[in-house]
């Protein structure tokens, strides 16, 4: 039996688990994906002659406002796995590209892709990938999680790091207070389309934000995040309204629509390889109050980007802060 079992291995869960492990707790994580880190996701595209492209198709970058993440960023830069990618991005609006003033916070991007942040945070942790939690059972000693493969996982304390709808479905009739907290959390969806290109775009920006476009919200020249020699690559994100309207469309149709929209704005380009990925829970639109949830009597908690650890909006750092804050509460004996 573990001290703490965490269902979901997103960034908030990895932040939580790392701190608890450092404090001496026996922590285990379960995640249905093959690699964890949630939307800090990087698609690896294998090309000819042993070449490879890496495209961040979930979170785009991260900023570091708090001292803890700034310290991690400095260490990552010194170690060579992280660099400051940009300080701001121009905006497309009504057919024109407007250069913004940037900002005081660097936008960080790991050189091997944003999933490297998850690998860094998860180093040394006990994570079982490819395991989908199906049912919870509460007993005298703690919690038992039954997975869809027939396995069981037991722990004295349980934490959920899942989108609100998935967490509520897993809870069933358990924990009405937590289900109530999660009931007001909503997410915007996002369709993402990546393309490895025959040639780079005729552009000098690393990425472009869109305002008022009928479909597009973001376009990034992904190779500008990577070491020299990386194949030219383009990452497109549709905005929430378009993604919601086309949520059940076939990936091939979404690819065609977003690539055509991008060509109209950016000029013609020739894709060598394309893919589409649908994020049903891409960005919290409404979040639960507080940095995390913890019920000491039930020994049950939740953390992640569906909570509100500070006033700076939804971003990678918010998920980390939520996990770190829950770790502090558990270490303090809450």
pLDDT of residue 125: 97
What six digits make up the tokens of 164? 């609100």
* Residue 252 neighbours by CB distance under 10 Å: 10
pLDDT of residue 103: 67
- CA 147/CA 129 separation, integer angstroms: 12
Q: What are phi and psi of 251, to 5 degrees?
A: -55, -40
Residues of the chain falling short of pLDDT 70: 101-103, 334
- CA 8/CA 162 separation, integer angstroms: 6
| Buried-exposed string 35-47: b where 16+ CB fall within 10 A, e elsewhere | bbbbbbbbbebee
pLDDT of residue 313: 86
Dihedral sign for Cα 21, 26, 32, 33, please: positive
Q: What are phi and psi of 103, to 5 degrees?
A: 165, 175
pLDDT of residue 34: 85
The full 3-state SS of 103-142, as one line of letters, equals: CCCCEEEECCCCHHHHHHHCCCCEEEECCCEEEEEEECCE
DSSP string, 145-211: EEETTS-EEEEEEEEE-S-HHHHHHHHTTS-HHHHHHHHT-EEEEEEEEEEEESS--S---SEEEEE
- CA 124/CA 97 separation, integer angstroms: 45
Among 168, 189, 187, smallest CA distance to 293 is for: 168
pTM: 0.95
- CA 59/CA 123 separation, integer angstroms: 20
- CA 174/CA 161 separation, integer angstroms: 16
What letter would DSSP give residue 62? Answer: B
pLDDT of residue 89: 94
Q: Which domains does the chain have, with CATH numbers?
A: 1-37+115-185+287-334 (3.50.50.60), 42-113+186-285 (3.90.660.10)
What six digits make up the tokens of 271? 């894709």
pLDDT of residue 334: 62
pLDDT of residue 173: 94
Is the Cβ–Cβ distance between 10 and 39 less than 8 Å? yes
- CA 241/CA 249 separation, integer angstroms: 14
- CA 36/CA 122 separation, integer angstroms: 9
pLDDT of residue 107: 96
Alpha-carbon separation of residue 318 from 119, 189, 210, 217 (angstroms): 18, 18, 23, 21
Q: Give residue 270's Cα distance to chain centre.
A: 29
């Amino acid at each position: 039996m573990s001290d703490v079992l965490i269902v979901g291995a997103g960034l908030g869960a990895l932040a939580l688990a790392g701190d608890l492990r450092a404090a001496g707790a026996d922590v285990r994580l379960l995640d249905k994906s093959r690699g964890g880190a949630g939307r800090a996701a990087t698609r690896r595209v294998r090309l000819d002659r042993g070449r490879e492209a890496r495209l961040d198709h979930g979170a785009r970058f991260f900023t570091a406002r708090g001292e803890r993440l700034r310290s991690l960023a400095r260490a990552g830069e010194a170690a060579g796995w992280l660099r400051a990618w940009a300080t701001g991005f121009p905006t497309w609006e009504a057919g024109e590209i407007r250069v913004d003033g940037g900002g005081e916070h660097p936008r960080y991007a790991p050189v091997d892709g944003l999933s490297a942040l998850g690998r860094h945070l998860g180093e040394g942790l006990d994570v079982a990938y490819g395991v989908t939690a199906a049912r919870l059972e509460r007993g005298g000693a703690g919690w038992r999680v039954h997975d869809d493969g027939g396995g069981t996982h037991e722990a004295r304390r349980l934490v959920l790091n899942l989108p609100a709808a998935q967490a509520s479905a897993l809870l069933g009739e358990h924990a009405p207070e937590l289900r109530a907290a999660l009931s007001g959390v909503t997410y915007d969806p996002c369709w993402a389309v990546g393309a490895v290109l025959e040639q780079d775009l005729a552009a000098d920006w690393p990425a472009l934000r869109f305002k008022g476009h009928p479909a597009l919200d973001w376009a990034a020249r992904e190779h500008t995040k990577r070491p020299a020699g990386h194949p030219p690559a383009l990452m497109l994100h549709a905005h929430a309204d378009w993604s919601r309207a086309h949520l059940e469309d076939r990936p091939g149709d979404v690819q065609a629509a977003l690539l055509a929209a991008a060509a109209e704005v950016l000029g013609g380009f020739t894709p060598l390889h394309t893919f589409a990925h649908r994020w049903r829970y891409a960005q919290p639109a409404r979040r639960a109050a507080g940095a995390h949830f913890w019920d000491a009597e039930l020994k049950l908690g939740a953390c992640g980007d569906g909570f509100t650890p500070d006033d700076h909006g939804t971003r990678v750092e918010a998920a980390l802060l939520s996990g770190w804050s829950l770790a502090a509460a558990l270490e303090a004996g809450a």
